[in-house]
Amino acid sequence: MQGIEKDEFGPEYVVEVYNAKLGMEGFLVIDNTALGLGKGGIRMTPDVTAQEVFRLARAMTWKNAIAGIPFGGAKAGIVWKGGTTAQKKKIVQAFARAISYVIPHKYIAGPDVNSGEQEMQWIAEAVGSWQASTGKPSSYCYHEGDVAICGLPHELGSTGYGVAMAAKVALPFRNITMEGATVAIDGFGNVGSFAFSYLKDMGARIVAVSDKEGAMYMQEGLDGDILAKLKKKNQSVALYPGGKKISHDQLFHLPVDVLIPASVTDVIHEKNEKGVKAKVIIQGANIPMREHIEQKLLDRGILVVPDIIANAGGVISSYAEYKGYLADRMRTLVKQKIEKSVSLVLEESKKKNKSPRVVALELAQEKVRSAMRKK
């Protein structure tokens, strides 16, 4: 397919499916399975493309390798322009059945933009396998003897928790203490809302958040309880009382200690990167900027912790669910693996005077190459 580059690592499978009756169009890219089954979430947006899915699948290859998770890299996308819950279920299950010949022995689904625990249950039900997906509801279980093995939904906040742990490790590299550190978060969904909560518990001051409808700024810090109430009512963070409504670009240009892009792909780009003033960027979203933009920010002295290590909490949680772990054991695993990988990458980056992404990629590629040779 156009825009998908083939190299020594993959991709192994590129699948495009279409259901004319439902108008369902979707993509699956299984990039590399040297380390294990292809693992990656399903993105549901109006303009998702095979090229975007490939970029995300390749990121998953590196993310799983660095985290030390025995999964390969994969990703899926479904063109979703909105509709009722019933319509969404039909689309998701049609996609699952269309790729059922690779689930779960080559690919395991997971949540991503506009797909969560309910969609993951629909997939498992559609293909008749509890292990077809991870991130399923905690009430969706099967039994091994007297033991209930249940889903670990991403709504437990594993990715946001990992992002907060990444920030905790990264801030000392710029001589910033967490207590009182100012933070701006683009995206107040599953990742951003939990990153907000965990960072605030650590003493940070979150001064700005955004969602697709707008952004809100308050220098003295935003109240997570008020934001949670707005979210529960399906209302925008831009309705936060007493704050200053700002644009998305204004959020990216705030002079904060930490900026967390936690929404969608390529939100920091050629038109807004020059105004970025944060000292540290923790990439909560997958591919929130292209690599040349990331390098420009690094050249200006901004520490950028790349997505392939910063937001690996979700796939670590997926592995925990796949293994049948409980939630507490999952959080411990996320903390241990994120702290280890971020510390390793940033120490090596400092020692070798290379960007964190280059160091992370070198580590990941060596792991994958080694596994490919053995395989």
Q: Which residue, chain included where needed, has tokens 């991709």?
A: 11
75, 279, 296, 337: which is the annotated catalytic residue?
Answer: 75
75 is catalytic: yes
3-state secondary structure of 304: strand
Residue 128 CB neighbours (<10 A)? 9
Whether 183 contacts 169, CB under 8 Å: no
Type and span of the H or E element at 54: helix 50-67
Question: What is the dihedral sign for C-alpha 137, 140, 144, 146?
Answer: positive
CA 236/CA 216 separation, integer angstroms: 9
Structure tokens at 20: 């004319």
Quick one: 196 exposed, middle or buried, by C-beta within 10 A (0-12, 13-18, 19+)?
Answer: buried
- H and E: helices and strands count for the chain: 12, 15
Whether 307 contacts 263, CB under 8 Å: no
Nearest to 199 by CA among 168, 220, 222, 174: 168
CA 42/CA 52 separation, integer angstroms: 12
304 DSSP β-pair partners: 281
Count Cα neighbours of 115 within 13 Å in the Cβ-side half-sphere. Answer: 32
DSSP secondary structure letters along 341-369:
HHHHHHHHHHHHT--HHHHHHHHHHHHHH
**Which residues are catalytically annotated?**
75
